[in-house]
Chain A
Amino acid sequence: MTHTSRIRTRPAARQTSFTDKPMKILRGALLAGALLLPTTSCKDFLDVNTNPNAPQTVTANLYLPPMLHWLAMSPQWDGRFVGLYTQQWWHVGTGIPATTWGRMGYDPGSDNGAQQWRDVYWSWGQNLVDMINKAEAEKRWDVAGVGYLLKGYGWLVLTDLHGEIIVKEAIDQSRFAFDYDTQEYAYGEVLRLFDVAIADLQKTGDAVDQAYLAKGDKMYNGDRTKWLKLAYGMKALALNHFSNKSTYKPADVIAAVDQSFASNADDALLQFPSLQPNDDRNFYGPTRGNMPSYRQAAFAVQLMNGTQTNGTVDPRMSRMMAASPDGQYRGLDVNVLGFGALSTAQQPMNFWGYVTTPPVGSPTRYIFDDKTRWPIVTYAELQFVKAEAAFRAGDKATALAAYKNGIAAHMDFVNARNQDNGQTATQISAAEKAAFLADPNIVPTSAGALTLSQIMVQKYIALWAWGHNELWMDMRRFHYTDLDPATGKQIYPGFSIPTTLYAANAGKPVYRIRPRYNSEYVWNIPALTTIGGMAEDYHTKQTWIINP
C-alpha cells in the first residue's frame, strides 16, 4: 500500500476531452464522486509500463554480440540449401530438401533459405540503427565504423541471395508495405556504406576506445585496425562481383585486397563458445544436429580426389571431408535420391566423421565442431579474389602469386580449424603442403599457364562448407557451366546442372532465393508482385550483378 501515499489529484487542465453535454454532466458527477472517495488517479501511480524485464536501451557495444553471432551463423542456415545448389553436399533424405533445393527449387510456404533475410532486417535492423546513432553521438568512431560495415555487408549478402531487396524504406515501423529496390541501387548503397565504414574506422581520438569495443567484439577484441582490414576485404568482395560488367575495375579490387588481410592472423573468425546447450554452438556442429543427413557431393569430392587434377590428391581432402567406413572418400550423386547404390560400407560418414550423430562432446572434424572458430572472410578467400582480378587484368604474375598464397593460406587454415577443439583429423604436414604447392597439376610452373578455372576451383575448395554466399555468387557469375575461354573447358570442371530440375523451374537453373515467405509472401504481396516475385519460377530469374 505504499503507493497510495504518492497519489496526487489529476490536474484539472486535462479534464476536458468530451464534447457532448450529457457526458460532461455525467463525468462531472463522477469526478465529484471521486473526490469523496479514497483514491484518485494519477500519473505516477500508473507509470508502471516500462518493461522491468529488459532495458529499452543499452550502451552501444552491448548491441554488438548478437549481431556478430548472426554474422557468423546466419549464412549457415541458408548455406544448407545453397550447399545443395552448388553441389558442396547432398541430402540423403528422399523428400525435402533433396527433391526441392536439391533440384534447384525451393520449399513453398517455408522460411527455409531466408535466415539472412530475418537477421539483416531483424537481428541487425533497429539494433544496428541504435548502435550507430549512439556511437556517433558519443564520437565512438570505431563502433560506428563497425556498424556501417555490418550494414553494408548485410545489404550485400541479402542482394546477392535475393536480387531485389528493400533498402530505402527498410527499418521503418510507420509503414507496412515496402517497395523493393533494384540490385544496382543495393550495390551502390553497399559501396557507399563500406566507404563510410572505412572513413570511420580510420579515425582515432575522440571516444575511440579498444577496451570499450572489445566488450562487445569477441572477433577482433576491439582492434579497430583489424576491422579496417575487414572493411577493405568486404569491399573487395563486392567490387569483384562486377566482373561481368563493363564497369569492373580489377585495379580497385586488387587495391582493396592489398589494404585488407595480410595473413591468416587477420581472418575474421568468431568462435562459438558453446556455453549454452544450443544457441551459441556451431549450427553445423553435432549438438545442434542440423547436418546428420548431409553428405559431401560428388562434384566437391572430385575437385580434390584427383579426378579433375590429373590424379593429384589434395591433402586437405582427408582433413575436410569424411571417409566412408571402408576408408575411401566418396561423394554422392546429386541425381539419385539417398545413397543410391552405395553399400553401407561405401556410404560416406557424416561431416563429424561418424556413421550416426555422435554423443555430445565427441571430437569431430574441420569446421563441424561445436566450438569451431567460424570464418566470415578469410585471407585465403581474398587472395583468390585478388588472383581473379589480376588474371582478368592480364597481370598473370600477380595472379599466380595470389593464387599460391591462397592455397597455402587455406592449408594452414585447415590445420588451424582442426585444432580449434581437438578435432580428430591429423594436421597437414609441411612436406605434404610443400609437395602440393609444387605440383604442376595444381600450381602451374609459369604464370602464363594459370587458368581462371584453377583459381575458381581452389577458391571453391577454400570456401567449401562455409563460404556459401561468396561461393554461390562465383558460380552464378559463371552461370554454373560457363566455359573458360582459354581452355574451352568448364570453369567448374565436372559440375552439371541436376538432370531433373524442380518442376516450377521449367528447365532453368536457380539464380536467387525467393524473399522470406513469412515476411514477404504473406504481408508484402503488392510490392512483391511488382518485381515479379509471385511467379513460381522467380528463383530462376538472373540477378542484375551477374550480367553485363
Chain B
Amino acid sequence: MVLMGILAVSSQALAQLKTVTGKVTSEVGAPMAGAQVIVKGTRFGALTNNDGNYSVRAEPGQVLQFRFIGNAPEERTVGAEDVINVQLKRVATGLDAVVVSALGETNVKRALGTAQQSIQGVDIAQTNRENFINALSGRVAGVEVVSSSGTPGSSTSITIRGISSISSSNQPLMIIDGLPLDNKTLNTGVLASDAPNSSIAFSNRFLDFTNRASDLNPEDIESLVVLKGPEASALYGIDAANGAIVITTKRGKPGTGGFEYSNSFRLDKTGAHPSLQRQYGPTTPGTSIGSFSYFGAPYAAGTTFYDNVDGFFRTALTQKHNLSFSGAAPDNRINYRISVSADKQEGVIPNSNYGRINLTGASQAVVNSWLKADLSMTYSYSNNDQVFKGDGGPLLGLLLWPQTDNAKDWLTPAGTRRRVTLLGQGSEVDNPYFNVAKNVINAKTNRIMTNIGFTIAPWQWGNLKTNIGVDGYTNQNLIMRHPESYYGYSLGGALDIADNITRNISTQTLLNINSRQIWKGLSLSGLVGNSVSDARDLTDAVKGQNFLDPNFISINNTDLATRYARSTLSQRRLVSVFGSATFDYNKYLYVTLTGRNDWTSTIPQERNSFFYPSINTSFIFTDAFPSLTRFLTSGKLRAGYAEVGKDARPYAYRPSLESKTTSYGGYGYGFTGPNLGLKPEFKISRELGTELSFLDDRLGVDFTVYHSETKDQIVNDIRGSYATGYILFNLNGAVTRNKGYELTLRGTPWMKNGVTWDVVANYNQSSGRTIALPNSLPESYISDTWLYGNVRNGTMPGLSTMSLTGFFYLKNNKGDLLINPTNGLPLKSSTFIDRGYDRQPKYTVGVTNSFRYKKASLNFLLDFRRGGDVFNATDHLLTVRGLAERTADREVPRVIPGVLRDGLENTANPTRNNIVVIPAQQTAYYTGMSEELFIEKNINWVRLKDITFRYQLPPTWLFARDASVFVTGTDLWIKTNYTGMDPIVNGNTAAVGGSGGTGIDYGNFPVPKGLSFGLKVGF
C-alpha cells in the first residue's frame, strides 16, 4: 500500500516524553469513566478508567484536551507537574458540548454549521427493540420511521426530511465506525418467482424481509448521530444525499477489565382487530358456503359464534442476553471489548420468530509514538420466520373466516387443509391457522463486518487516518407456498430459494490538518480525503413447483421440469476525493467549505465524474457580542448551502436481453429501454438554523428551516408509449422540492432535592412536492404499490411526493358526485386521478421525559402526529365482503347525494339523484364502492412509544460493582382517529423506492404491546 511510503518519510525525532496521570470528575465530583484525554494536535491519548483515572505520555508544553460527550471540553498545558486533575462541566445544550461530526471526528458544537442530532447508545438499547432503527422514531427531529408490520424481523424504513426521490431509495446512508453499513431489504425482484413476466410474482407485497441494519446489536452502539441534510453529508458522498446516520460502536474502557451481563424478558400481546358484523350470514349459506361474502339472510337466533381472532394470537415471550468483557491494559496502550449476545423473539402470530446471535470484538492499540491501530469485527447470525401478509395472508383469512365456524379446527381428519366454501382450493383464502402452520417464510443470515483502521501522526500539523472494511453476508431465504394453500394450490406448491451474497469493500483515507493560525484571530483547519467502494450483491435463486410430498420442504421435492434457476448480480463501484476547509475567526465565526468529486460506475463514462461543493457557516453571536448574554446563555446562527450528486442504479442506461421462459427459450429485451444520455441528478439544499440556550443552559432551542430541490432526478421504471419499443425507462428530468422546519427544545424544568427532570421535544414539519416529471409524462408510480384495488402511490406535477392516485369518484364542475342513471350508484373514473390524498403528516412531535431521583430513573417517549392520510384497504375488503359493521344497515333505503350523469350534469340545472338504493338488494352499493372512501384523511395519533423505569441496586448486591433492574414498556398505549389497527404501516416493504407503500394498510399485523423487564450487572 501507498501508506507504507508515507510511513517511511515520517521518521521525525520526538522530544522526551513523560507520563502524566490524573483523575477526571463530573461537575458533581463523581469520577467519570471513559472520558477522552488527548494530546492536542495528535490523535493520541487515553480514556479514563472506572475510577476516572487516566495516564498518558506527553512532552512538556503540549496541551491535554479532556473530552466527554455532553460535557464542555477542558484544556491543560503539560508543565512540570506529573498529575493533572480535571473537573468537566455538563453542557447538554451548550455550544461547547463535544459531539461526533461528519466523518466520525469529534468536534465542539459551536464549529458546526449544519443540523445534526445525536443519541446515546444507552437510550437506544433501553427500548429493547431488536431493530435499533425502531428506537429512533420520535427521538430525532425530521426523522420518520415506518415499520412495515408488527411481525418479528419485518423491515423498517427510515427517512430524513421527507421523500425527495420519486422512485429510488429515500433512506439515509448508514455509517459504522467510518465505513458504510449495508441496510438493504431484499427486493423480491431477485426471486425466481419474480422473473420478468412471471404470473406468480410477489412484487414486495405478500411477504417481508428484514432490513439488514437490524443485524446490529443495539447493545454494541456507543452513540449515533443523525446528519440531516446533504450539507452535513456532503463529505459522505452520493449515497448520503438523503442524510446519514453515523454510528460509533463501543470500545473497551480502561481500568480493571470487567464483565457486564444484562438480560431482558419481554411479553408481547396484541388485541386490536376490526370488529365484524354478526347479523347477516354468507351470501350462499349451507354446510359449504359459496364464498366469503356475507350478503345473505340474517343468522338464525341462537347461532353459535366463535371469536376466531382472539384465540389466534399468542402472548409472545422474547428474551435477550448480553455478556461483554472489556477493559484496557494498565498503560492504556491497548483496549479491548468482546461481547456476545443472544436474542430470541417470538411474535404474537404463531410461527413468527426472530433469533439473533452477535459476537463482537474490538480492540485499539497504540503501536508506537506515531501509529495507532483499531480493529473491530462483528459476526451476526439471524434466523427469522415470518408469515405472509396482505392479500391471502393470515389476517385476512382470520377476518373473512365464517364466525360461525371454529377456525381452530383447520385440518381434515386426513390431515389436509379443511375448507368451508364451494370456491376452488386456489380461490378460498386460507384458514389462518393453516396459513401460518403450513406456509413457510424463513431467512437465515450470516454476516461478518470487519473494520481495520490506522492513524498515523508523525507530524504536529496533522494526521492521516485510513480505514478499510468489508461488510459481507449471506442471506438464505426460503419461501414455501404449500401445495394445499390458497397461494400454492394452482402451482402444486411452490418453493423459492434465494441466496443473497453481499460483499461490500470500502476504504477511506483522511488527511487531517490541524487548526493553525493564518492571521490574527483567524485559523484554518481542514482535511482532504479519498474513498473507494466496491459493492457486489449476488442472488442465486431457484424455484420449483408440483411438490411430490406435500409437506417435505426441499427443492429436491419439486417436479424437476418446473425448476427454474436465476442469478442476479449487481455491482457498483465508486471512487471519490473530497476536501474540507474550516476558517475559524476568534472561535465565534466558522466558515466551512467542502468539495467532493465522485466517479461512479453506474453513469455513462463521459458523465460519470461530477463535482459538488458546499459551504456552511456558524456564528456564535453571543461571543461576538457578549452584551447579549444578558438575554441568553449562548446563541448561534448557522447557514448552509450544499449540492450533492446522485448516480443511477446499476445497469440503468443500457438495455439488456433476458433469457425468456416462453416457448423454446431464446432472448428478448426486458421492459427497460436505453438511455445513453443518463446523467447524475443533483440535490441543492439551503438551510438556516439557530441554537439558543437560556437560563444557564437549562433551556435550549435548536431551530432549522430548510429547502431542497432535486434536479434532473432520475426516475426509474417510468412508462412511455410502447411505440418506443420498450415499456419502461430510466429518465432524468423529474424535479422535486422539499421544505420544512425542525425544532428541538431541551430543558431541565426541575433540578432540586435530588430530583432531575429533563425534557427533549422534537417537532418536525416537512413537505415534499413533485414539480416536474421527465418528458412531461403525467404520472409516475411504483407498480408494487398498486397492491389493492385501484389505488397506488402515483404522483403528478404539483402533488405531494406522498400522494395517492386512484379510480376515484367522478364529479361535475360544481363538485357534486356523478350518479349512474341506471342504478343510482356513483360513477368512478377509469383512469388514475388525483383527489388531493397525501400520506405526508402535517407535523410530528416526539417528547422524551426523563426523571431521576437518587437511584431510580424513569424515561418515556410520547410520539404525536397530526395529519397525513392512510388507506385502510382491509376495511374496504371487509365492506366489499359485507363483513364491516357499516354494512349492518343494509336494509335501510338511501339516495346517494349527487347528480345524474344524463348529459345535464354540467348545466345550470343538473338532475339531482333520486334513485333509491337498498344495499341488501343491490350489493353493488358496497362491492362497487371506490377505495377513495377508505382513504382516511388527516390521521392523528398520540402514542407512548416506550417507557422505562430503572433502579440502581446497592453496590454490594450480588458482589457486583454495578447492578440495576428495569421495566420497559413498548407501544403500550395509542390514541388515534384511525379506524384500522395501526396507522404505522407499509403495504410493501422497505425495499420499495420512492414513497413506497407507506400508509397503505392491507392485511397487515399491527405492532404489539410489549412489556419487558430485566437486569444489568457488572463485575
A residues neighboring B (CB under 8 Å): 1, 3, 14, 18, 23, 26-27, 29-34, 36-43, 45-58, 62-70, 72-73, 108-109, 117-118, 121-123, 125-127, 129, 166, 169-173, 175-178, 216, 218, 270-273, 275-280, 289, 356-357, 360, 516, 518-524
**Given A56-B657, A69-B663, A70-B662, A121–B722 Cβ distance below 8 Å?**
yes
11 additional contacts (CB under 8 A) given A126-B726, A272-B663: A38-B3, A54-B667, A56-B655, A57-B657, A66-B660, A69-B663, A122-B727, A172-B723, A178-B723, A279-B660, A280-B661
Given A51-B651, A54-B656, A272-B663: A26 and B490 interface contact (C-beta under 8 Å): no
Q: Which of A26, A63, A123 contacts B579 (CB 8 A)?
A: A26
Docked Cα-Cα span, A123 to B102, in Å, equals 49
Is the pair A36, B6 in contact by a Cβ cutoff of 8 Å?
A: yes
Residues of B within 8 A of A360 (CB): 492, 546
Cβ contact of A48, chosen from B572, B593, B659, B790, cutoff 8 A: B572
What CA separation (Å) do A209 and B624 show in the bound complex? 87
**Are A109's CB and B831's CB within 8 A?**
yes
Q: What's the minimum C-beta distance from B653 to chain A, rounded to whole angstroms? A: 8
14 contacts between A and B (CB under 8 A): A38-B1, A41-B577, A48-B601, A49-B601, A49-B602, A52-B571, A58-B667, A65-B664, A109-B807, A109-B831, A170-B723, A273-B664, A280-B662, A289-B490
Which residues on B sit within 8 Å (CB–CB) of A30? 528, 577-579, 595-597
Q: CA of A161 to CA of B608 in the docked complex: distance in angstroms?
A: 45
Please determine whether A56 and B719 come into contact, CB atoms closer than 8 angstroms. Answer: no
Residues of A close to B1014: CB separation below 8 A: none
Separation of A34 and B675 alpha carbons in the complex (Å): 32
The answer, yes or no, to whether B532 is at the interface (CB within 8 Å) is yes
Asked whether B567 lies within 8 Å of A109 as measured between CB atoms, the reply is no
Known: A38-B507, A53-B569, A519-B723. A276 touches B664 (CB 8 A): no
Interface window among B12-20, B318-326, B759-767, B773-781: B773-781
Contact of B726 with A125 in the complex, beta carbons under 8 Å: yes
Of the candidates B197, B575, B577, B605, the one whose C-beta lies within 8 Å of that of A33 is B577
**A176 and B511: CB pair below 8 A?**
no
Which of B562, B669, B724 has a CB less than 8 Å from the CB of A276? B562
On whether A51 and B579 interact (CB within 8 A), knowing A3-B534, A38-B507, A127-B668, the answer reads no
Asked if B424 is at the interface of the complex by the 8 Å CB criterion, the answer is yes
- Assess the A23–B779 pair: CB atoms within 8 A: no
Residue of B424, B561, B571, B656 most packed against chain A (CB within 10 A): B656
Identify A34's interface contact among B577, B651, B777, CB under 8 A.
B577
Q: Which residues of A contact B727 (CB under 8 A)?
A: 118, 122, 519
Known: A37-B2, A65-B665. A121 touches B530 (CB 8 A): no
Give Cα distance in the complex from A23 to B615, angstroms. Answer: 12
* Interface-centre pick from B2, B6, B491, B724 (highest chain A CB count, 10 A): B724
Closest residue on chain A to residue B658 by CB atoms: A54
The reply to whether B725 and A117 contact each other, CB–CB distance below 8 Å, is no
Question: Complex: how many Å from CA A125 to CA B611?
Answer: 39
Identify the closest chain A residue to B718 (Cβ). A523
Contact B668 A67 (CB under 8 A): yes
CB-CB under 8 A from B561, the residues of chain A are: 275
Say whether, besides A33-B530, A176-B721, A521-B831, A40 and B575 are in contact (CB < 8 Å): yes
CA distance A166 to B721 in the complex (A): 10
Number of residue pairs spanning A and B whose beta carbons lie under 8 angstroms apart: 263
Q: Is the CB of B662 within 8 A of A64?
A: no
Q: In the assembly, what is the distance between CA of A122 and CA of B729, in Å?
A: 13
The reply to whether A280 and B663 form a contact with Cβ atoms under 8 Å apart is yes
> Does residue B617 face the partner (Cβ distance < 8 Å to A)?
no
A277 in contact with B545 given A30-B528, A56-B654 (CB within 8 Å): yes
Per the bound structure, the CA–CA distance linking A26 and B673 in Å amounts to 38
Task: Confirm or deny: B934 has a beta carbon within 8 angstroms of a beta carbon on chain A.
Answer: no
Q: Determine which of B599, B778, B807 lies in contact with A46 in the assembled complex, contact meaning CB atoms within 8 Å.
A: B599
Known A122-B727, A277-B546, A360-B492; contact A58-B657, beta-carbon cutoff 8 A:
yes
**Contact in complex: B725, A39 (CB < 8 Å):** no
A177 / chain B contacts, CB cutoff of 8 Å: 721
Closest partner residue, chain B, to A288 (CB atom): B199
A176–B608 CB distance below 8 A: no
**Given the complex, which residues of A lie within 8 Å of B655, measured CB to CB?**
56, 126
**Least Cβ–Cβ distance between B901 and chain A, in angstroms:** 10
**Which chain B residues in 550-589 approach chain A with CB under 8 Å?**
561-562, 564, 567-569, 571-573, 575, 577-579
What's the nearest-Cβ distance from chain A to residue B672, in Å?
10
Which chain B residue lies CB-closest to A170?
B723
CB contacts (< 8 Å) of B595 on chain A: these are: 23, 26-27, 30
Question: B200: CB under 8 A from chain A?
Answer: yes
Q: Known: A30-B597, A73-B662. Is A51-B530 also a contact (CB below 8 A)?
A: no
Task: Specify which chain B residues have a CB less than 8 angstroms from the CB of A272 in the assembled complex.
Answer: 663
Q: Which residues of B contact A522 (CB under 8 A)?
A: 719, 778-779, 831
Q: Is B472 an interface residue (CB 8 A)?
A: no
* Contacting residues of chain B (199-247) with chain A, CB-CB under 8 angstroms: 199-200
Assess the A53–B656 pair: CB atoms within 8 A. yes
Cβ-based interface call for B147 (8 A): no
Which of A43, A65, A175 meets B666, CB within 8 Å? Answer: A65
Q: Are B575 and A39 in contact (CB under 8 A)?
A: yes
When chains A and B are docked, how far (Å) is the Cα of A290 from the Cα of B288?
25
Shortest distance between the CB of B333 and any CB in chain A (Å): 26
- Kindly list the 6 A-B residue pairs having the minimum CB-CB distance in the complex, ordered from nearest: A33-B528, A65-B666, A108-B830, A125-B725, A41-B575, A109-B830
| B651 cross-chain contacts in A, Cβ below 8 A | 49-51
Nearest A residue to B569 via CB reads A52
Q: For the complex, what is the distance from the CA of A516 to the CA of B719, rounded to whole Å?
A: 13
A18→B611 contact, CB < 8 A: yes
B509 within 8 A of A: yes
Bound Cα distance from A524 to B650, whole angstroms: 29
Residues on the A chain within 8 Å of B670, using CB = 54
Give A464 to B789 CA distance when docked, in angstroms.
35
A480 to chain B, nearest CB (A): 26
Contacts of A67 in B (CB 8 A): 666, 668
Residue of B nearest to A110 (CB): B830
- The answer on a CB contact under 8 Å between A173 and B490 is no
The answer to whether A46 touches B830, judged by C-beta atoms less than 8 angstroms apart, is: no
List B contacts of A108 (CB < 8 A).
Answer: 830-831
Q: CA separation between A68 and B662, bound complex, in Å? A: 10
* B282 close to A (CB within 8 Å): no
What is the bound-complex CA distance between A111 and B396, given in angstroms? 29
Specify the chain B residue showing the minimal Cβ separation from A32.
Answer: B528
Inter-chain contact A523/B721, CB cutoff 8 Å: yes
